[in-house]
Structure 1
Amino acid sequence: MGANISGLVDHEKLTSNMSPLETGLGDLPESCIALVLTHLDPIQISKISRVSRTFHQASLTDLVWEPKLPQNYQILLKNYKNLLSNASDEHLTKKDIFVRLCRPNYFGSSNYKAFWMEKNRGMCVCISWKEMKITGIEDRRYWTHVTSDESRFNTFAFLKQIWWVEGEGNLEFEFPAGNYSVFFRLQLGKTSTRLGRRICTVDQVQGWNIKPVQFQLSTSNGQKASAQYYLNEPGKWINYYVGDFVVDSMQTKLKFSMTQIDCTHTKGGLCLDSVLIIPTHIGPKKSMLTF
């Protein structure tokens, strides 16, 4: 792409020395340029907008950016007022709307549920453990709340020791139609920083290799999925894949949970950060995604 842009710039320099009767790249109508730009991704549009003033103006038009928006963007603007900073924002250009959807947007007064658009890859949602119902979460004998920049919400829950683990949450959101995957973001071992280096302490990790953790999800229209894993990879954050669901209509109600309720042994040393929902085509089924 860079070579193509360089060629366009060089061509424009050459055409600047043409006689008044000759035409060059700069003489292309803005509407034609905009039509070409609709076939490019946002990064390519940003690069090619530097070719000339005409290309820059074309790159700002609604024609270019509307195809990049989710089909339900008007519903999102209506239901999530934090997308609009003030009354004048009601006249945002399509590019402005695109930029705002690509940044984290929170659900109402909650700072622990956020959605954003991964450019051309689809709509994502992240839900903090603080929005979940977790057994014993307020009892400091079992759990501690750790401030950390490793979490999207700057805090994760650390399980010291407990006989059974139950955590569940729910979400109601206007997803664009498509296929989505659900992940729990977990880590064995407690991380900290010492002398500028990341340290992970695993001395409290126990019980996760005896019986698997059960993950489940269900939707209001009857879709269900489940998975189970032995947790045996300490020291790194892993997104454990729960399953997929399909969105046909915009409004989706979703429930998700993780449990390990075998009381024959204690469990401990687990960090619980969040639940991640992303378009299925973005990532593998079990990964260290960095959303």
Structure 2
Amino acid sequence: MGANISTSVVQRKEGGSPLRPKLDDIPESCAALVLAMLDPPEICKLARVNRTFHAASSADFIWESKLPSNFKFIVEKVLKDATLLSLQKKQLYARLCRPNPFDAGTKEIWLDKNTGGVCLSISSEALTITGIDDRRYWTRISTEKSRYPTVAYLQQIWWFEVDGELEFRFPAGTYSLFFRLQLGKSSKKLGRRVCNSEHIHGWEIKPVRFRLTSSDGQRGESQCYLDNPGNWVLYKVGDFVVENPNALMNIRFSLTQIDCTHTKGDSRFLVSIFLYHKKMLKEA
């Protein structure tokens, strides 16, 4: 037969009755194990409880588990700044949650601060747009609503086509790809933002078609009419699944409206592509 023996030391008052345990009595190592089970926002909240939790919240093993599995690839190959690996994991997490430009500033990568999911955006400068160099059809304008210095502005065109491509080593999971578009020009009037929709035309006749394909054979397709003048809108292209986090995946995507019976015009295209890890999106 066997026996299980446990011992404990309980601090007592002068009269002999035991004192109630406090949060300060929790060993830092135990607090760190608790924090490791939580999401980043919850870790930061508990770090303000007392000194023990504050000290425990900086443990590298906690934050390394919150970083994406490809964080070394992001730092060394995408951002090309290996010095970031010398930071504490908590500091690295915070650094990667900020927008980090790469490819001469035409792309950005960041982590969702609540989940650690990888997000990417691509500016219109990195896309192939039919007629982009012809000033009769397209111009580049600045806007406060863009991550990038300029966005592509369509005056009018018959053949509308935008193509893009991205090669990246994604952590395993499901991702969603969107185009971010706005109809019309916004301006401020008496301190309020207004949209002049007078010259918007052609988008209500035929829907715009979105497509994506991946190097491992996945396909996505959707179509819709562009609407909601004056507001930047995310139009979903489709989803793709990453099963092998160690392999580079090539994603091609496009947006077309090639019915030449009518012109399309007066539209801003941050034609900024956004890729989000699925767990960060609220399901409809």
The 3-state SS of whatever aligns with 1:268 is: strand
Q: Which range is displaced more, 70-79 or 170-179?
A: 70-79
Partner of 2:7: none
User: CA 1:174/1:138 → structure 2, altered by over 3 Å: closer, same or farther?
Assistant: same
Contact 2:66 2:116 in 1 (8 A): no
In the TM superposition, residue 107 of structure 1 has moved relative to its aligned partner by 2.1
Q: Does 1:226 align with 2:182?
A: no
Unmatched tracts of structure 2, length 5 or more = 1-12
Counterpart of 2:254 (choices 257, 268, 275) is 257
Are residues 1:174 and 2:169 paired?
Answer: yes
Asked if the contact 2:220–2:237 (Cα under 8 Å) also holds between the matched residues in 1, the reply is yes
> In structure 2, how many angstroms separate the alpha carbons of the residues matched to 1:285 and 1:25?
37
Q: Deviations over 1:237-266 (max 9, x none)?
A: 111111111112232111111111111111
- RMSD of aligned C-alpha atoms? 2.1
1:79-116 deviation digits (Å, cap 9, x = unpaired) = 134555xx4x43211111211221111224x2120111
Q: Specify the SS of the correspondent of 2:166.
A: strand
Bigger drift between 180-189 and 75-84 goes to 75-84
Amino acid in structure 1 at the alignment position of 2:110: W
User: C-alpha separation between the residues in 2 aligned to 1:189 and 1:211?
Assistant: 18
Q: Describe the superposition over 1:5-61 as per-residue Cα deviations: whole angstroms up to 9, x where unpaired.
A: xxxxxxxxxxxxx77x95532232110000011122212211211222221110100
For the pair 1:133 / 2:131, whether they are aligned, the reply is: no
What's the offset of the Cα at 1:285? 8.1
Point out the structure with the larger helix share.
Answer: 1
Secondary structure of the corresponding residue to residue 52 of structure 2:
helix
**Residue identity matched to 2:264:** K
- Aligned counterparts of 2:282 and 2:205: Cα–Cα separation in 1: 26
- Cα 1:132/1:160, change in 2 over 3 Å: same
- CA contact 1:159–1:270 (8 Å) conserved in 2: yes
Structure 1: distance between partners of 2:49 and 2:228? 49
Aligned 8 A contact 1:143 1:158 in 2: yes
Alignment of 1:96-107 (within 5 A): 96-107=91-102
Contact 2:213-2:219 at 8 Å conserved across structures:
yes
The amino acid across from 1:111 in the alignment is: G
* Cα-to-partner distance string for 1:152-172 (whole Å, 9 max, x where unaligned): 214221111111101101011
CA distance in 2, matches of 1:39, 1:79: 30
Do structure 1's residue 247 and structure 2's residue 245 form an aligned pair? no
Shift of 1:195: 3.4
Q: Which residue does 1:73 correspond to in 2?
A: 71
Residue 195 of structure 1 is matched in structure 2 by 190
Distance change >3 Å, CA 179–CA 90, structure 1 → 2: closer
Counterpart-to-counterpart distance in 2, 1:224 and 1:253: 12
Structure with higher Rg: it is 2
- Single out whichever of 121-130 and 275-284 deviates more from structure 2: 275-284
Contact kept in structure 1, 2:67 and 2:116, CA below 8 Å: no
Q: Does the Cα contact within 8 Å between 1:177 and 1:249 map onto a contact in 2?
A: yes
| CA displacement 1:177-230 (0-9 Å, x = unmatched) | 110111111111111223322121112211111111111111111111111111
Tell whether the 8 Å contact from 1:83 to 1:105 is kept in structure 2 after alignment. no
> Aligned runs of 1:1-291 on 2, under 5 Å?
24-84=22-82, 87=83, 89-108=84-103, 110-119=104-113, 120=115, 122-250=117-245, 251-273=248-270, 274-283=272-281
Percent identical residues: 48
- Retained in 1: the 8 A contact 2:168–2:249? yes
Say whether the 8 Å CA contact 1:121–1:279 is kept in structure 2.
Answer: no
CA gap 1:285/1:24 in 2 versus in 1, 3 angstroms? closer
Q: Which amino acid aligns with 2:23?
A: L
Q: Secondary structure at the match of 1:141?
A: coil
Counterparts in 2 of 1:163 and 1:132: CA distance versus 1, 3 Å: same
Aligned residues: 265
Q: Distance in 2 between matches of 1:63 and 1:284?
A: 29
Q: CA–CA distance in 1 between the matches of 2:281 and 2:111? A: 15
